[in-house]
Structure 1
Amino acid sequence: MNYELTPEQQELQNTVEAFADEVVAPAAYQYDTERRLPLDIIAQMGDLGLFGLPFPVEIGGQGKDYFSLCLAVEALARADQSIAVTLEAGVGLGIQPIYRHGTDEQKERWLPDLLRGRALAGFGLTEAEAGSDAGATKTTAVLEDAEWVINGTKQFITNSGTAITSVVTVTAVTGESRNADGTMSAELSSILVPADTPGFTVEASYDKVGWHTSDTHPLTLVDVRVPESNLLGELGRGYANFLRVLDEGRIAFAALATGAAQGCLEEALRYAKERNVFGRSIGSNQHIAFKLAKMQARVHQARLCYYDAALKLVHGKPFKTEASIAKMVCGEAAMDNAREATQIFGGYGFLNENAVARHYRDSKILEIGEGTTEVQLMVISRGLGLTA
């Protein structure tokens, strides 16, 4: 694999980094404190074409690849993880399922605004008892008079309650299927639910430790009725289709974590050079210098991991194990770098106005979201032929 960026990819990375530094970073503390998603910044990201990066020009995309999306997510996460995950989830969980499995009519209805950042979409999979174990889904969808009647609840759904959320893809039990051993299991399907559908309620946002700007809500569906034609993909293939989306999403999530680790390194390095104690910069002290060296090593390792997984995906090679490795390694790198950066800043690192404090709060979810570290270890073990 050649990990050197092409001139076009380097230009994209430079453009998004400049946007992050000039637009996202200066406003980050304000909208983090206000716990709101800045739709003006999302609109500017749409104008830059970020939501359409990995999609064909013919449908309104930018004609790039998934690796290009990852580069953009990494660049944004240096400044603000909440903004980065809004893009990552907006594309991976919002647009990709519709693009990959939608009918021509569904694509024509939803994709134009989504690809331009004028609208956002969510993916409603997780429930109180169904996260890693999607087979425990309790939400049901029953076909009545050519309409799906959906009842259930969802949890931790990103981009589900913004003023520009247009649709949420909901997984629901639509029947039962027989397994090879003769036992029965729930048949999961995916159904598109427009945000303004009666009975579809976006509950109050969560009081989260971090990612304050990212829009995250529980959802309640009570006798929600949508046309039979809102089925996304084949009946009973909802979970199988989601697995591909999840594997891809772990790579973009790893890119986000790499950006966070890089942002912590940059902030800590700058402070270590500027902060003088006993007549010299704290960066001249070996124990601080060695902390920064380890932070740089983590960033380098993380970036190589996600580059490898992303390029395997782009070139059509198996990438499932590599995606899990990247997600785990990058998430841990972000959390470790956030902790070290906060320590280097000392008391100033404990102030929320500092970017490292925000990264410290934000980074923990990188070891949980898109599959916990323990789930990644399970996937990696299975790749080794083990049954852990």
Structure 2
Amino acid sequence: MKHVPLSTWAGACCLTVALLVSAPVTAQDVADFEDWQVAEMRSLVNAVNAARMGQGAVGEEAVQILPSYMKGIDGNTYAPYTLILGPSLVTKPSIVTYVAMTAVGELPDADGLLPVAPFEDAFYSPVSAGAQEIRLNRALQAPGGEYDMYVAIRDSEDGDAPIERIMNPRTGQPETVAFAPRIILKRERITVPDLWNDELQTSTIFLAEQIEPLTEPPTPEELNLFPYTIGTTRIIPKLDSSYAKDGVLGFVFLIYNTGHDDGMPDVTVDYDFHQVTASGEEFYNRTSPQELSNRTLPDIFDVTEGFQLVTGQNIPLASFPAGDYRLEIKVTDKEDSNEISKDLLFTVEEG
């Protein structure tokens, strides 16, 4: 099997200090919104706070939360995520979403007030109601740990919603909110990995639908809309792992906390394909190992200066029999005599 490198990454990422090590995730300030938008957001914040205090029901709505993880800044993990909404959940051309991350096991203080959420964000999205699912991309940033992720969504009434005064369940103070006939509320337990613990690790293995080189680093606003971005390269993620016979298995990931010689790593990445059958697994094939060292990286590459070690593959699947596969990815750090393995599961469909 021929090894097909992702040449876009070699040019765009190995020579660029990625934006993730220089800019935090930023949520829009309340001052950026109209009063009626803030009132709509408050209805979502209150619904989440009530659920945090055990006073409101958290439904199992048709909302999927698909988080991914990369190294962020200041000891945090950067987590781009996708929300997938069933089409029946939307009836208006615009929706507003509120996201909050809370520590597992949080308790109110002596006055009955909840702690401030470690991360929260609110944003508006134009949508089209219909038969197709709706996908929203965003990102959060938090230290490694276990969290409850709350997602609250409502239709926007574009300033026409009736206004009511209610008691804020977190502060115990009255406030003005926009009435919502329906609020979609989802809670999911997620474990954010600590990618700053000096152990050899990788990011999420990102399946790529498309890779787009950018002419300049994205602005914080652009990064909010397209969070799957590394340096000046934007990933359009593939959110399922099924491929046609004439498809290409494209993926990319980052390698963290390698040893180095004056900033230069010495890493080998091996890729072994195993076909999953009814009786177990059978080795299918492997690609040529990838070498990431002074023999293949630019002379200016220096992990101590924030350069990110990025790699991946583009594998044509025409020669793969239809079926299920497990790709074993083994990363060997020769400087520190250490290795880790990751699995990537995918399916090649008939015809």
Please identify which structure carries the higher helix content.
Answer: 1
Shared topology, TM-score over 0.5?
no
Please identify which structure carries the higher strand content.
Answer: 2
TM-score (norm 2): 0.29
TM-score (norm 1): 0.27
Structure with bigger RCO (C-alpha 8 Å, 6+ apart): 2
